[in-house]
Structure 1
Amino acid sequence: MSFPPDYIEELNLLALYNLSSAQEGIKVHRHSAAPESVAAAERLFRKGLITQVDGGYLTPLGNETAEHTHKLLAILTSG
């Protein structure tokens, strides 16, 4: 089993969040972001992981998911 491209896009967005500050969100601009990123933000919003359809802040579940995403990236990139 492998990660579908949609999941990879969602993980990429979650990896952009700064976990050291709950006051720092992200914005996915519809007019300049890749369509895949816009769609990923919409899916994360529908799943209850972010507060706005175009980014915003992490919800509590989103914060936990982003923490796991950051840990996974750290493991995979350690050399």
Structure 2
Amino acid sequence: MSLSPEKLDEINLLLQFPSDSIMNGLKIHNDAEQSVRDAAARLHSKGFTDSPDGGYLTDAGIEILNHIKLLNSALK
């Protein structure tokens, strides 16, 4: 099994969310790369963010981000 470019885009976008506070989010602007805007929309449709253009992480988003950070740390 390998990760598709779309999944990698989603992971990379999740890693961009501020981790110092759940009260901080991201705003994906209309001039962002299409792959980033698409990743943001997919994360929203999966319930990981509260807005299709970034927004805040949901509880599920925070949980998946913690898993991604753990994996990222283990692979360093």
Q: TM-score, normalised by structure 2?
A: 0.93
| Amino acid across the alignment from 1:65 | I
1:10 maps to what in 2?
10
Q: What is the CA distance between 1:20 and its match in structure 2?
A: 2.4
For structure 1, the 5+ residue unaligned runs are none
1:20 maps to what in 2?
20
SS in 1 for 2:50: strand
Following the alignment from structure 1 to structure 2, what is the Cα–Cα distance between the partners of residues 74 and 30? 32
Whether the aligned pair in 2 keeps the contact of 1:6 and 1:40 (CA below 8 Å) is: yes
Runs of 4+ deviating beyond 2 Å: none
- In the TM superposition, 1:43-54 aligns within 5 A as 43-54=42-53
For structure 2, the 5+ residue unaligned runs are none
| Amino acid across the alignment from 1:3 | L
CA RMSD, Structure 1 to Structure 2 (Å): 0.9
SS in 1 for 2:18: coil
Following the alignment from structure 1 to structure 2, what is the Cα–Cα distance between the partners of residues 9 and 76? 18
